[in-house]
């Protein structure tokens, strides 16, 4: 029986299923409203199972009832960005899809992982429309941003990504906040291994990574990175690993901010967010977070 659902069998959804299968995390059921799309992609992946050694099944369905008994549901449905678009430009386009799914998942007993852009706004929207507890609606924002930060640091320093811990918090946009003080290479602060100018360049690259991929490909948003991040979050929940990951969720007083979704490190387990960790921030950093929160609130109020 599947314990991971994926809603939307497009690039992000299908690749999330693929990464989950490659890592033998658990059984997957993909749901899509387009007749046969999820079923066809599931069959295609399962025909690779004898070669790749998949231990769990991947199935497809057009009935949302088939996903409601799972432990994790990754929401990957919706329109993706094109060159020249900001994430916020997708809010109106994708709200109808998120609302429709949320209405059908009000009694869902697992955790919903939002990959649909704009992630922070969609976490807020899904939380409101579904009525699920804030600890069970999380977004990929900080996980994906931190992964991109780790890659950029590894490239510049010439070391494997396995040795790098990097933390990015805040809004999933060019206002994200990579925390150099909390980013280390085998325990050594990155600030002691890089010139300040080089570190600032890596931070700026991280902030603009998503936009760069869209502009370079001239087609659509990235999907391999988000899919890998979604698989990582799903694994932490299904396996109850208590792993610390920076996910987006609706804040409840953190740094004096309420009712807005942004990313902070949290402990993830079988029931979703078990504990929120609050890094020590400067007054300037807290002001930047509050500025981002105000902008998110303003955009959300116009929906």
The domains of the chain are located at 4-141, 142-301
Per-residue model confidence as pLDDT tens digits over 121-140: 999 999 999 999 999 999 99
The pLDDT-based confidence of 207 (bands split at 50, 70, 90) is confident
What is the C-alpha separation between 281 and 180, in angstroms, rounded? Answer: 11
Q: Is 89 a catalytic residue?
A: no
- Residue 78 scores a pLDDT above 90: no
- Residue 248 scores a pLDDT above 70: yes
CA 94 vs CA 25, 88, 100, 144, 209: distances in Å: 29, 10, 10, 20, 22
Q: Which of 41, 172, 184, 207 is catalytic?
A: 172
Can you tell me the mean pLDDT for 182-200?
Answer: 92
What is the C-alpha separation between 246 and 267, in angstroms, rounded? Answer: 9
Nearest to 229 by CA among 247, 214, 250, 251: 247
Classify domain 142-301 by CATH number.
3.90.110.10
Q: Which CATH architecture group holds 4-141? A: 3-Layer(aba) Sandwich (3.40)
What is the C-alpha separation between 209 and 14, in angstroms, rounded? Answer: 22
- Sheet with 164-169, strands from edge to edge, namely 164-169, 177-185, 188-189
Establish whether domains 4-141 and 142-301 are of one fold: no
- Residue 2 scores a pLDDT above 60: yes
DSSP string, 139-207: ESHHHHHHHHHHHHHHHHHT--GGGEEEEEEB-SSTT-EEEEEEEEETTEEGGGTS-HHHHHHHHHHHH
Can you tell me the mean pLDDT for 164-180?
Answer: 92
* 87 neighbors 73 (Cβ within 8 angstroms): no
What is the C-alpha separation between 289 and 197, in angstroms, rounded? Answer: 23
Tell whether omega for the bond before 118 is within 30 degrees of 0, i.e. cis. Answer: yes
Can you tell me the mean pLDDT for 87-107?
Answer: 88
Average pLDDT, the chain: 92
Partner residues linked to 261 by β-bridges: 250
Can you tell me the mean pLDDT for 102-118?
Answer: 96
């Amino acid at each position: 029986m599947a314990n991971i659902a994926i809603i939307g069998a497009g690039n992000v959804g299908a690749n999330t299923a693929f990464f989950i299968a490659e890592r033998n995390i658990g059984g997957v059921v993909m749901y899509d409203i387009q007749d046969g799309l999820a079923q066809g992609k599931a069959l295609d992946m399962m025909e690779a199972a004898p070669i790749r050694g998949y231990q769990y099944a991947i199935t497809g369905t057009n009935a949302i009832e088939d996903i409601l008994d799972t432990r994790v549901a990754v929401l990957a449905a919706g329109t993706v960005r094109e060159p020249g678009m900001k994430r916020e430009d997708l809010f109106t386009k994708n709200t109808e899809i998120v609302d429709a799914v949320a209405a059908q998942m009000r009694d869902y007993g697992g955790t919903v992982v939002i990959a649909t852009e704009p992630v922070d706004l969609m976490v807020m929207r899904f939380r409101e429309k579904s009525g699920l507890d804030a600890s069970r609606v999380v977004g990929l924002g900080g996980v994906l941003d931190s992964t991109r930060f780790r890659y950029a640091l590894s490239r510049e320093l010439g070391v494997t990504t396995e040795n790098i811990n990097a933390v990015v918090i805040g809004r999933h946009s060019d206002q994200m906040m990579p925390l150099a003080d909390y980013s280390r290479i085998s325990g050594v602060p990155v600030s002691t291994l890089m010139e300040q100018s080089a570190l600032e360049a890596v931070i700026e690259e991280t902030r603009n990574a998503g936009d760069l991929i869209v502009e370079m490909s001239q087609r659509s948003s990235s999907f391999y990175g988000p899919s890998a991040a979604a698989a990582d979050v799903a694994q932490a929940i299904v396996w109850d690993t208590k792993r610390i990951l920076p996910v987006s969720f609706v804040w409840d007083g953190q740094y004096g901010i309420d009712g807005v979704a942004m990313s902070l490190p949290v402990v993830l387990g079988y029931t979703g967010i078990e504990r929120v960790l609050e890094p020590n921030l400067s007054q300037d950093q807290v002001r930047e977070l509050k500025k981002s929160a105000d902008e998110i609130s303003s955009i959300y109020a116009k929906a």
